[in-house]
Amino acid sequence: MMTKYLLASVAALAAMPALAQNTAVTFGTNWVAQAKIEALPGNRMHAMRRIIVTHPGAAASFADLAKLDKLLISDQGVLTFWAWMIQAYGFKPEQREVYTFSAAPLIANVTWGMQGYLSSEPYFFEKETGIKPDVWLIADAGYTAYSTTVETLASNVTDRPEVVQCFVDGSAIGWTNYLYGDNSAANALIKKDNPEMTDEAIAYAIDTMKANGIVFSGEALTMGAGAMTDAKIEDFFQKMAAVGAVPADLDWKASYTLQFVNKGVGLDLKPAE
């Protein structure tokens, strides 16, 4: 019955506009541009995509990355985490080179760094070069963004809360089961959609997510996958406002809701640590 209702809820929400998974400050910018859109859960406690990959020994600390000759950063990253890195750690705008989803420039230049995705770029870099890279997770340096937040129209929150709740609960249960239960069906779909994702690559990604607390760390350990807090959202908002990514007078509290999260859904599926 739960599965049938969940599928119906997913279909109902998917048919509506403004349902999306987003990262960083998109919930704030969507609120400015479109209004009446609210962020629901933050499915990842840290932004996996926000890492810096370097050759081993190229930097001794995250702050030391500011001494590298170049860093490959995406256009989206320039407006968010790169702007924060410049302000918080003294990186220089001229260090930035355009990230093109290729590791070739990094492989060829030992004094360069590259943004990447925690669960993939380090793995494929090592597979291609035989060199285990150093990895610097920006979240550990103070970039306090939730990742892959789910957004929907505020009208769904007020008019169809039971549908939204079912979708959020299903996401929490799904993440917990994928990491700690039988994920064979999900992995089969992943490999069908992306043949480059081998069993080895998927296993690496899962182990990496667990080791770095991507889904379960902080408040999510007791509140469940997708947990969010006002304090963390406010902290990140203040950082983004300070670098001009969002207006300082943005009504950020109106851009999300905690109504459907922090209920411990799915924790019974997670083995005791």
The pLDDT value given to residue 29: 47
Q: Consecutive 10-residue runs of the chain (273 residues): their mean pLDDT?
A: 39 40 48 59 62 95 98 93 96 97 94 93 92 94 89 90 95 96 96 93 94 92 94 93 91 90 96 83
What residue spans define the domains of the chain?
A: 2-46+145-269, 51-140
Q: What is the pLDDT of residue 47?
A: 60
Assign 224 to helix, strand or coil: coil
Tell me if domain 2-46+145-269 and domain 51-140 are identical in fold: yes
Distance between first and last Cα of the chain: 31
Which amino acid makes up residue 261?
V
Whether domain 2-46+145-269 has CATH 3.90.550.10: no
The architecture (CATH level 2) of 51-140 comes to 3-Layer(aba) Sandwich (3.40)
The pair phi, psi for residue 250, each rounded to 5°, is -60, 135
Element (H, E) at 254: none
The two structure tokens encoding residue 120: 């993939």
Beta strands in the chain (DSSP E): 20-22, 37-44, 51-54, 70-73, 96-98, 112-116, 134-137, 147-153
